[in-house]
Amino acid sequence: MVESVVTRRGLLQAGGGVAAASLVAAAGPATTLVQGGGGARLAGQPLPDGAKLPATPPARRAADSVGFAIVGLGGYALNQMMPRFPQAKRAHVAAIVSGNPEKLRQVGDAYGVPADARHSYETFDRIAADKRIEAVYVVLPTGLHAEWVIRAFAAGKHVLCEKPMALSSADCERMIAAGKRAGRKLMIAYRSHFEPYNVEAMRLMRQKAVGTIRLLRTEQSYRMGPTRPSENWRTSRALAGGGPLEDYGIYGLQSALYLTGEMPESISATTFRPAGDPRFAEILAHVSSQWRFPSGAVAQLVTSYDSAGINFAEVRGTEGVLKMDPATSYSGQKMWTEGRDARAFSPGDPEVQFAGQLDHFTDAIRTGSPIRTPGEMGLRDLRLMEAIYASAERGQTVRLAPDGRMRG
């Protein structure tokens, strides 16, 4: 599971799984780590295209604001999450961690991060002594999550970790154990749990707005432009795992669980990788699965990096249909029911999901309230992904225990 990819430009050093941290460490201070979150970003391009840096450093909103160290300054961190910190009730960027000194300078200046709170991956562990930092937000490529989450716990910080939690359930278990040892909180950044349309959809399903659920369909697909593993971490097996399922299909996997309120009892899956396509030299192009729930309901999930773009969820019940299209985007959600009680829903601005998950996490830190999307949820989802891959590899239906572990 560990590989080192050195491109002709000599810029990319990638590690996956257990030994990611040691790989990064071994690479030495001259090595620049490619950042995660927003697609292929080579070091040397200081900021991803369209990065939104604040014109003036945002002020802290609350006296009890939680200081975060942002680990990984990729497109998602820079363009989506960091600009939303000022919208959260008590969260602020207290430190940044990047392998790119120019990025540290520009982003640090823009967010008013003190010079001694701008870290490389080599100086990361110094945050342990920095009381300005209470939490670490890990926004690295997935294959690096386990190591940096565990290092953050070792530094005594609470951790918000991007999804998927890791590339294996074994890593998830190590991460959960590290959090317990440290006595710190672990939350997986499943933003849809804080997005008004998806929250309303969960409520509608609990209320049986479509009757008894019989079928759930989800698809998260787009067609990836020409690229190769050395150019885009999302196509590197060591960093991204199987590919579209971890990165995009996980939204459908999550929807299938939180809309039905059930765990599947069996899964059959099939995957596809077109031969000779550099995009899919290491990862899969498609992952399709069919789940059976104890109630008899079925979920059919698809995710692809090589198909017409879509992000939708549909629940079909005895009395009607709920559709979400787009279902789990950053903004622009649409949701409606068909059948007996046909109507459209506008439960709120989807963009509150970003600040919403920060508020939920900082509430948990300040008040001890339970975390809705804990490490155990990330672990559960990795087990399901492992079951999907196992089914596809074996060409067999896989049976699952209620906790998502494969039976036999």
Rg (CA), the chain: 21
Give the whole-angstrom CA distance, residue 285 versus residue 7. 23
Active site residue 323: no
255 belongs to the binding site for a second copy (CB under 8 A): no
Q: Is 158 helix (H, G, I), strand (E, B) or coil?
A: strand
Q: Of the residues 76, 137, 197, 251, which is catalytic?
A: 251
Number of neighbouring beta carbons within 10 Å of residue 132: 14
Q: Which of 28, 50, 276, 296 binds a second copy (CB under 8 A)?
A: 296
Closer by beta carbon to a second copy, 69 or else 321: 321
E strand map for 318-360: 320-324, 335-339, 343-345
Give the span between the Cα atoms of 374 and 153, in whole angstroms: 15
> Does residue 278 touch a second copy according to CB under 8 A?
no
**260 lies in the site for a second copy, by CB under 8 A:** no
Q: Tell the smallest beta-carbon distance from residue 397 to a second copy (Å).
A: 5
Q: Which of residues 319-348 bind a second copy (CB under 8 A)?
A: 319-321, 338-339
Stretch of 92-100, 217-225, 237-245, 365-373 lying at the interface with a second copy (CB under 8 A) = 217-225
Rule CB under 8 A: say whether 279 interacts with a second copy: no
Residue among 258, 301, 287 nearest 390 (CA):
287
Q: Figure out which of the listed residues 214, 334, 366, 372 binds a second copy, where binding follows CB under 8 A.
A: 214
235 binds a second copy (CB under 8 A): no
**Strand 286-292, strand 298-304: pairing:** antiparallel
Residue 163 designated active-site: yes
Q: Which of 50, 225, 226, 395 binds a second copy (CB under 8 A)?
A: 395
Nearest to 63 by CA among 100, 92, 31, 24: 92
Residue 270 in contact with a second copy, rule: CB under 8 A: yes
Q: Tell me the closest approach of the beta carbon of residue 95 to a second copy, in angstroms.
A: 43
Instruction: Establish if 316 lies at the interface with a second copy (CB under 8 A).
Output: yes
Of 183, 186, 160, which Cα lies nearest the Cα of 173? 186
